[in-house]
């Protein structure tokens, strides 16, 4: 099977199997000076050290000519690497040939080369001539064409992406050299400007896999397993070779390979290895050519990677946290190793795998073990990391305190032998506050663990007496604010009811206080008992309208009117009652009005006469 450059160029293709080491390379050198010119007979084009015109070529580390793409050569790692730069002749034809010697007869080879169109997209007013190269392999007599293939048209794209093209051929009996030729399929002019680099020849053979009976393509073991050996089988796909000869090799760096004496079959029992070792086999159709690197190919590489036992992780230290927090235990180990956490120095239970950090809030000692990321190869010891969890200070529940208006209160964290940080900025156990609100205190113990207590301070306002009124024989006290108020007529005995019933008329001092003993307010009040009605029916019960309490005044006058304002009664200090008559006549049931002037105080209102 060949990998094709593109589907329309089926004659070009890569070796579908394994290849040998390169037997011929041409990278055209490096340096900032153009040249040297190719050997005589290599090309009919003219060599120049300046800008190549049509039919010219140069060997240069720059492609910065005309409006061409400016790019580096293809060879990896080159400094000022050079490439073969061609400005195609006006006439299509051959522009490069060279002989490749030292080949083996009856052997399949792969020729390859990297190529790029130097014209940017849209050049030559969109009419740029595309690059189109034919690769040919001729026998050494230059009479027998062994293989050829065309790249097809490669338009200018404006990218600096080199593309590789390959051609597979087979030498004939007694043939040990070939002639490589490159031809332009297009005429020169505006376009058809190209660069070529890294021409390579190498043998091509079967695709040869190497695996164990378990179909392992590689093996990774821990060095504590001691000497390791594997039984390997090379399996060619017979896509190129009709028969197979082998020579197994081993290497410690994949650069220098050493033949393993006597190992010339498809199966290899590897030597016992204690360090990483690589194995492959050279393979040809004929045993005579197996050690000729111009003729053989090499299989896939099977590596036995011996992983060293990792050192135990290094700790970042023990961790201390407070109850309720999470502690982050951490260790360090090179990136080639993972970390597993256990609950015991040996054996025990796996807590967390493949993580250098362990987050937990449970106190105890945890053990970190390093392990290879490639295979089970653990450190011989585990690193202990201890998490200490300190308790929080025990604080009382949040509480409510009461502050008397225009006073202060002392609030207490109620925790001793700690430090304190109040929301007010104070740092003592107890503080005085003069305003209502929420006060937080952060209590911190000697281990640096903190708890918060909140004390809500509510202000108790002094009562504000709104009004005091007489309601018949009752005194009713109304406040303009609310609270758990108590009321008293003597300042000694207090009641929760704001109504004093059956009180004789007279002067009184009204006392109002909050039941939390936050202070008392007082107000003088004259209680005049005015009947709401009287019944002058001669039964001696409530027969007279007679206000109670006027005796405390020096001068009293009383006037009684009907609803029309007619004066029915006028009396003074010695005559303040009324029997419900006018000029000896009994008046009907109705509402009547009074006006009382007592010293400098005036009282007025109405009452009912009922028969």
Q: What is the pLDDT of residue 305?
A: 94
Same domain, 496 and 367: no
Tokens 């039919």, residue located: 55
Q: What is the pLDDT of residue 9?
A: 36
DSSP secondary structure of 141-195: TS--EEEEEE---B---S----EEEEEEEEPPTT---EEEEEEESS--SSB-EEE
Q: What is the pLDDT of residue 439?
A: 97
Q: What is the pLDDT of residue 346?
A: 96
The H-or-E segment that residue 269 falls in is: strand 267-269
Nearest-angstrom CA–CA distance, 360 and 471: 74
Same domain, 109 and 28: yes
User: Token digits for 563?
Assistant: 């609803």
> Looking at the DSSP assignment, which residues form a beta bridge with residue 339?
370
Same domain, 31 and 142: yes
Tokens 């202000």, residue located: 459
Same domain, 520 and 544: no
Q: How far is CA 50 from the centre of its chain?
A: 57
Q: What is the pLDDT of residue 53?
A: 95
Query: Could you tell me the CATH number of the domain that includes residue 273?
Result: 2.60.40.10
Q: Which of 203, 237, 264 is the last residue of a domain?
A: 203
Same domain, 234 and 265: yes
Same domain, 264 and 406: no
Same domain, 590 and 508: no
Same domain, 44 and 171: yes
Sign, CA torsion 45/46/50/51:
negative
Nearest-angstrom CA–CA distance, 250 and 275: 12
The pLDDT tens digits for 436-492 are 999 999 999 999 999 999 999 999 999 999 999 999 999 999 999 998 999 999 999
Query: Could you tell me the CATH number of the domain that includes residue 598?
Result: 2.60.40
| Positions of the chain with pLDDT under 70 | 1-10
Q: Which of 390, 414, 445 is the last residue of a domain?
A: 390
State which residues form the domain around 142.
24-203
Whether the CB-CB separation of 63 and 83 falls below 8 Å is answered with yes
Q: What is the pLDDT of residue 36?
A: 96
Same domain, 113 and 152: yes
Nearest-angstrom CA–CA distance, 45 and 469: 130
Q: Which of 158, 186, 203 is the last residue of a domain?
A: 203
**17 within some domain:** no
Same domain, 414 and 482: no
Query: Total domain count for the chain?
Result: 6
**18 within some domain:** no
Same domain, 515 and 376: no
Same domain, 176 and 285: no
User: Token digits for 296?
Assistant: 């053989």
Q: What is the pLDDT of residue 6?
A: 33
The pLDDT tens digits for 7-27 are 333 379 999 888 888 889 999
């Amino acid at each position: 099977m060949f990998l094709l450059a593109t589907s329309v160029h089926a004659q070009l293709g890569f070796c579908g199997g394994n290849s040998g080491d390169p037997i011929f390379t041409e990278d055209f050198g490096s340096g900032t000076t153009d040249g040297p010119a190719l050997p005589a007979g290599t090309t009919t084009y003219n060599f120049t050290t300046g800008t190549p015109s049509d039919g010219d070529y140069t060997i240069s580390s720059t492609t910065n000519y005309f409006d061409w793409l400016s790019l580096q050569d293809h060879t990896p790692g080159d400094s000022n690497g050079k490439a073969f730069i061609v400005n195609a002749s006006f006439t299509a034809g051959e522009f490069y040939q060279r002989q490749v010697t030292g080949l083996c007869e009856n052997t399949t080879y792969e020729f390859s080369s990297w190529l790029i169109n130097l014209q940017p997209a849209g050049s030559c007013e969109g009419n740029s001539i595309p690059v189109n190269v034919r690769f040919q392999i001729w026998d050494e007599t230059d009479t027998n064409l062994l293989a050829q293939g065309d790249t097809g048209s490669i338009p200018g794209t404006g990218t600096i992406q080199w593309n590789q093209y390959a051609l597979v051929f087979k030498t004939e009996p007694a043939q040990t050299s070939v002639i490589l030729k490159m031809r332009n399929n297009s005429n020169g002019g505006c376009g058809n400007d190209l660069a070529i680099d890294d021409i390579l020849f190498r043998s091509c053979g079967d695709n040869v896999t190497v695996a164990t009976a378990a179909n392992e393509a590689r093996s990774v073991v821990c060095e504590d397993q001691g000497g390791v050996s594997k039984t390997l089988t090379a399996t060619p796909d017979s896509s190129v070779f009709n028969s197979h000869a082998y020579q197994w090799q081993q290497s410690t760096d994949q650069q220098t390979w050493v033949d393993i004496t006597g190992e010339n079959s498809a199966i290899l029992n590897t030597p016992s290895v204690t360090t990483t070792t690589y194995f492959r086999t050279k393979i040809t159709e004929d045993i005579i050519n197996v050690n000729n690197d111009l003729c053989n190919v090499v299989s896939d590489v099977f590596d036995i990677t011996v992983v060293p036992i990792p050192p135990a992780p290094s700790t970042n230290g023990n961790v201390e946290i407070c109850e309720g927090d999470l502690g982050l235990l951490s260790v360090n180990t090179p990136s080639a190793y993972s970390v597993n956490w256990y609950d015991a120095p040996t054996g025990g239970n796996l807590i967390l795998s493949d993580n250098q950090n362990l987050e937990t809030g449970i106190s105890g000692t945890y053990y970190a073990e390093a392990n290879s990321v490639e295979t089970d190869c653990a450190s011989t010891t585990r690193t202990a990391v201890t998490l200490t969890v300190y308790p929080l200070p025990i604080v009382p529940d949040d509480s409510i305190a009461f502050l008397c208006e225009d006073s202060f209160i002392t609030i207490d964290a109620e925790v001793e032998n700690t430090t304190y940080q109040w929301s007010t900025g104070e740092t003592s156990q107890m503080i005085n506050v003069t305003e209502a609100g929420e006060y937080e205190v952060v209590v911190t113990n000697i281990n640096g663990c903190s708890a918060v207590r909140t004390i809500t301070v509510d202000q108790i306002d002094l009562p504000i007496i709104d009004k005091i009124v007489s309601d018949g024989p009752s005194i009713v006290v109304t406040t303009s604010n609310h609270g758990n108020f108590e009321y008293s007529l003597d300042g000694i005995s207090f009641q929760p009811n704001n109504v004093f019933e059956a009180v004789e008329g007279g002067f009184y001092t009204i006392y109002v206080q909050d039941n939390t003993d936050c202070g008392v307010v007082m107000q003088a009040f004259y209680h005049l008992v005015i009947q709401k009605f009287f019944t002058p029916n001669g039964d001696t019960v409530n027969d007279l309208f007679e206000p109670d309490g006027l005796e405390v005044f020096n001068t009293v006058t009383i006037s009684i009117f009907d609803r029309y304002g007619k004066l029915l009664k006028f009396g003074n200090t010695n005559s303040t009652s009324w029997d419900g008559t006018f000029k000896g006549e009994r008046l009907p049931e109705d509402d009547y009005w009074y006006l009382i002037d007592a010293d400098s105080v005036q009282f007025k209102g109405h009452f009912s006469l009922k028969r």
